[in-house]
Structure 1
Amino acid sequence: MAKNGTLPDFDAPSKGVTSPSSLAHVVLRTGNFEPMVDFYIKFLGGRIAHRNEFIAFITYDSEHHRIALISVPGTGPKQPKSSGLEHIAFTFPSLAMLLLAYRQRKQLGIEPVWSVNHGPTTSLYYKDPDGNMLETQVDNFESVDEATEFMSSKEFGENPIGTDVDAEDLIRRLREGEDEGVLKKRVEIGPRSLPDLDSM
């Protein structure tokens, strides 16, 4: 039903497709089932919604599942140079909360492989036991329009990758009273290429 309780006109001509209301979940195939289940519960501060010997549904919020893991016989290791999903990103409401989760993961032995201020976001990247990349981020601008404007700038055109940051330094500076807005402003370093994330 449409929002007003009536059916939409299924036969109406259209120049596009109705967008989804949200991205619901990601399903990962693995040959490394138990370590992957353990990792995602810890990484997300999550819980099992349902599991059996070959599938686990994990959530961390009001959605019934956000990550599902399927153990499929014969699944080999990830091939870093093959096409496919590059990473999954999770957003935090503030820089302080992003860094709190970083410290909590660190206590569990989970450390980022890359920390960077892209401009639109400040992001910490991790790898799961299969080598899939996970991004945890905070938005650096107050609105989507501001972020989009920055992405149209000369600086972003010159360097769409970003400037590396040190999470511990950001924590130190927050504790010293620096404003999050200042810390989230990207330091411009000029052109750079994408780092070799496969080697990280």
Structure 2
Amino acid sequence: MTTTPQTEAGTGAAGTQAVALQLSELVLKTARYDDMAVFYTHVLGHGPFYERTPDPEAPPRPAGMPERAVDVRLGFFRIADAPHSQVFALFGVENLSETESSGPGLHHFQFGVSTLGDLISQHEHMASIGVRPHRAANHGQATSFYYRDPDRNIVEFSCPNFATFEEEVAFMSGPVFAANPSGLELDPDRFAARCRAGDPERELLRLDNRAVAM
């Protein structure tokens, strides 16, 4: 595996320049709006700042046009405000058919936390409503717990294992990550218990730490 240094802007074939972008909105379409809203209210620690139910008397959506905000039940949740707002949203759509999970589309999405302690706190927060991770892993550059929401989307909570982005990239450019980018599969409960017991992070995050491995 090779890594490419990130630049401020990319140059297109016609000499155009890419502007600096930030992921500012993620929208999930669901037929289980109420269940999903309860789940993500718990995940984020607050409910939607805006909700709307479509007007039953509104004109129908034009044939062939994807669902628009005016056509669906809406819920917008704030994630962060700086430097630009980051929003998570639900589009409630009736009569959705199940999709094939092995086909093209979203694989998973990630919420980042700042510290290992925050990651364990989020794990405990999810456990308080009986939601358990289906996977946990020390990837080397980051440690992550993975959950499924009511629609079976994979939701990742992750914290960095290094203090700087440069250290993270250096690790990802090395032979250990190239040989196994998945890292060490963790037993989430043992890992959380050892963290709460005060094991040093350097010890906890060793990729050969069998005491916390699956």
TM-score range, shorter chain: 0.7 to 0.9
For 1:14, the equivalent position in structure 2 comes to: 15
Counterpart pick for 2:76 among 42, 57, 62:
57
Which consecutive unaligned segments of at least 5 residues does structure 2 have?
A: 1-13, 54-72
CA contact (8 A) 1:41 1:48 kept: yes
Deviation, structure 1 residue 151:
0.9
Superposed CA deviations along residues 78-124 of structure 1, whole A, max 9, x for unmatched, are 42112111111111111111101101110111111100011111000
- Measure the CA separation in 2 of the matches of 1:69 and 1:176: 38
- Match of 2:40, SS? helix
Counterpart pick for 1:67 among 75, 80, 88:
88
Deviation, structure 1 residue 64:
5.7
Amino acid at match of 1:38: V
Q: Determine what percentage of the aligned residue pairs are the same residue.
A: 28
- Measure the CA separation in 2 of the matches of 1:108 and 1:120: 29
- Measure the CA separation in 2 of the matches of 1:65 and 1:142: 23
Which consecutive unaligned segments of at least 5 residues does structure 1 have?
A: 1-12, 190-200
Q: How does 1:107-186 map to 2 (within 5 A)?
A: 107-186=128-207
Superposed CA deviations along residues 123-158 of structure 1, whole A, max 9, x for unmatched, are 000111111111100100111111111111111111
Amino acid at match of 1:33: Y
1:30 aligns with 2:40: no
Count of matched residue pairs: 176
Pick closer, same or farther for the CA change 1:71–1:61 going to 2, 3 Å. same
- Measure the CA separation in 1 of the matches of 2:139 and 2:86: 29
Which of structure 1's runs of 4+ aligned residues deviate more than 4 A?
none
Deviation, structure 1 residue 166:
2.1
Amino acid at match of 2:43: F
CA contact (8 A) 1:56 1:68 kept: yes
Pick closer, same or farther for the CA change 1:155–1:94 going to 2, 3 Å. same
Q: Report the aligned-residue RMSD.
A: 2.0
- Match of 1:116, SS? strand
- Measure the CA separation in 1 of the matches of 2:129 and 2:209: 33
Deviation, structure 1 residue 171:
2.7
